[in-house]
Amino acid sequence: MIIELFSIFFKIGLFSFGGGYAMIPMIRNEIVSRGWLTAEGFANIVGIAEMTPGPIAINMATFVGFKTIGFFGSVAATLGVVMPSVLLILLISKIFFKYQSHPIKQGLFYGMRPVIVGLILSAAYFMAETSLFIVKPGEWTGNFLSQVDWVSVGIALLTVVGIRKYKLHPILLLGVGGAIRIGLKFVGV
Amino acid sequence: MKDKRLLRTLFWTFFKIGCFTFGGGYAMIPLIEREVVDTHHWVSREEILDILAVAQSLPGAIAINSSTLIGYKMAGKTGALISTLGMVLPSFLIILIIAMVFSAFQENEWVRTAFVGIRAAVVGLIVIAGYNMFKAAVKDKIGIGILVVTLFLLFLLDVHPILLLIGGAGFGILLYILFPEKGRGSR
């Protein structure tokens, strides 16, 4: 079973383009169909994987591995999901750093860089959609402004100002964001 | 060996990034930027974009791919493995602990409350990353054009990011082949 777990996650690591979120349906297919976890148990794991730091792919592999076999399961699943990327990257990184000024490489990245900027902006948009509103995305009704979570908007703005103007460390600002919420809850707002 | 010190720094830098990356690969960009570009000067801001482009184009988690690439650049294969280990270990350990006290963690109201605030801060962080990357990546009207087309295809037609990257790459190569003088002028 450990070997099966490893090879499942190896396969998932090999075929998941576009980061951790793209892996969720693949993992669910493999794990739930084998009866290793229920659909509900899996949904809970996704929630935790999103809440805790680190790549979602790693979090899910570790968690699913632990829930199915225990410690060694989590080691096998995590190794499995990481290994394809590492091997592929090692293969291509030589080429990547070698031909720095080749016109094809320059053209390639000239065209890709703005696309990456677009992807980052869309990530900001989707993150804002789930984090800065009281209701879930897609459930907006009636007055738009009344559904904005203004405290969260304030925290987001504070973070922007803290980094741009005062050059504070991102980790500090994450802590401040959490602390503001805890503080408000503590005084009962 | 001075390599040993570099390897140790690589490990702890990615360990730190791994500890504080909430919300998936893109949320990590501001931290990588701060640590790898500003603090250690391992890569330039432009190069970070190229690394992200490669990381996003290959299978696997973006965070893992980019830490492996940066590690490789700094210290070869050993660097790649050490950086990846640093990136993976925090999640692994944290999840292991949480898996043991599963329900208590998820249902704790204070934990949930803190995360509402943390997620809001993450929005700010990603906006900053987008702005910084925009300044580094988009240097002429063609760049703005590619960005606008990307956003259009992404939001209105729901085109897969990989296709967008391939399209951008193909367009860029074509441009450099048809107008080779452009490349010499801009870089």
**How far apart (Å, rounded) are the C-alpha atoms in residues A66 and A88?**
26
Same domain, A66 and A82: yes
Q: Which residue has the higher pLDDT, A46 or A63?
A: A63
Q: Which residue has the higher pLDDT, B44 or B161?
A: B44
Identify from B32, B44, B127, B182 which residue to disrupt to test chain A contact, counting A C-beta atoms within 10 A and taking the largest count.
Answer: B127
**Last residue of some domain: A114, A131, A148?**
A131
Range of the domain at A101: 1-131
Closest chain B CA to residue A49: B95
Q: Which residue has the higher pLDDT, A62 or A40?
A: A62
Is residue B27 pLDDT above 80, yes or no?
Answer: no
Same domain, A43 and A118: yes
pLDDT of residue B156: 92
Q: Which of B33, B87, B42, B35 is nearest to B60 (CA)?
A: B87
pLDDT of residue B22: 72
Question: How close B92 gets to chain A, by Cα (Å)?
Answer: 6
Share of chain A above pLDDT 90, in %: 23
Share of chain A above pLDDT 70, in %: 92
Residue pLDDT, tens place only, B65-86:
899 999 998 999 999 999 999 9
Same domain, A18 and A101: yes
- Cβ distance A116 to B60 less than 8 Å, yes or no, reads no
Helix (H), strand (E) at residue A180:
helix A170-186
Q: How many Cβ pairs within 8 Å bridge chains A and B?
A: 378
Is residue A172 pLDDT above 70, yes or no?
Answer: yes
ipTM score assigned to the predicted complex: 0.76
Question: How close A142 gets to chain B, by Cα (Å)?
Answer: 23
pLDDT of residue B184: 46
Same domain, A121 and A137: no
Same domain, A80 and A142: no
Same domain, A80 and A165: no
- Cβ distance B187 to A49 less than 8 Å, yes or no, reads no
**How far apart (Å, rounded) are the C-alpha atoms in residues A83 and B43?**
24
Is residue A129 pLDDT above 60, yes or no?
Answer: yes
Average pLDDT over residues B160-185: 80
Contact list in B for residue A123 (CB cut-off 8 A) is: 24, 26-27, 126
Is residue A34 pLDDT above 70, yes or no?
Answer: yes
Is residue B12 pLDDT above 90, yes or no?
Answer: yes
pLDDT of residue B186: 46
3-state secondary structure chain B: CHHHHHHHHHHHHHHHHHHCCCCCHHHHHHHHHHHHHHHCCCCCHHHHHHHHHHHHHCECCHHHHHHHHHHHHHHHHHHHHHHHHHHHHHHHHHHHHHHHCHHHHHHCHHHHHHHHHHHHHHHHHHHHHHHHHHHHHCCCHHHHHHHHHHHHHHHHCCCCHHHHHHHHHHHHHHHHHHCHHHHHHHC
Q: Which of A136, A152, A55, A127 is nearest to B123 (CA)?
A: A127
Same domain, A156 and A95: no
- Cβ distance A173 to B124 less than 8 Å, yes or no, reads yes
Contact list in A for residue B26 (CB cut-off 8 A) is: 19, 119-120, 123-124, 127
- Cβ distance A155 to B65 less than 8 Å, yes or no, reads no
**How far apart (Å, rounded) are the C-alpha atoms in residues B178 and B185?**
14
- Number of separate domains in chain A: 2
Same domain, A177 and A91: no
Average pLDDT over residues A5-13: 90
- The radius of gyration of chain B from alpha carbons, rounded to an integer in Å, stands at 19
- Cβ distance A93 to B92 less than 8 Å, yes or no, reads no
**Banded pLDDT at B104 (limits 50, 70, 90):** low
**Chain A contact for B134, CB < 8 A?**
yes
Residue pLDDT, tens place only, A111-126:
888 888 888 888 788 7
Is residue B57 pLDDT above 80, yes or no?
Answer: no
pLDDT of residue A20: 61
Query: What angle separates helix A150-164 from helix B109-137, to the nearest 10 degrees?
Result: 50
Ranking A113-122, B12-21, B84-93 by mean pLDDT, the lowest is A113-122
Is residue B1 pLDDT above 80, yes or no?
Answer: no
Ranking A163-167, A177-181, B40-44 by mean pLDDT, the lowest is A163-167
Closest chain A CA to residue B160: A18
Contact list in B for residue A115 (CB cut-off 8 A) is: 53, 146-147, 150, 161, 164-165, 167-168
**Chain B contact for A43, CB < 8 A?**
no
Residue pLDDT, tens place only, A70-105:
899 999 999 999 999 899 888 888 777 777 677 887
Identify from A86, A135, A148, A160 which residue to disrupt to test chain B contact, counting B C-beta atoms within 10 A and taking the largest count.
Answer: A86
Same domain, A126 and A138: no
Same domain, A111 and A96: yes
Same domain, A153 and A121: no
Same domain, A110 and A172: no
Which 9-68 residues of chain B touch chain A by CB within 8 A? 16, 18-31, 34, 46, 49-50, 52-54, 56-65, 68
pLDDT of residue A37: 83
**How far apart (Å, rounded) are the C-alpha atoms in residues B126 and B129?**
5
**Last residue of some domain: A131, A149, A178?**
A131
Contact list in B for residue A92 (CB cut-off 8 A) is: 54, 58
- Cβ distance A115 to B143 less than 8 Å, yes or no, reads no
Is residue B183 pLDDT above 60, yes or no?
Answer: no
**Last residue of some domain: A84, A114, A131?**
A131
Identify from B105, B116, B140, B164 which residue to disrupt to test chain A contact, counting A C-beta atoms within 10 A and taking the largest count.
Answer: B116
Is residue B103 pLDDT above 70, yes or no?
Answer: no
Q: What does pLDDT average to over chain B?
A: 84
Average pLDDT over residues A7-25: 75
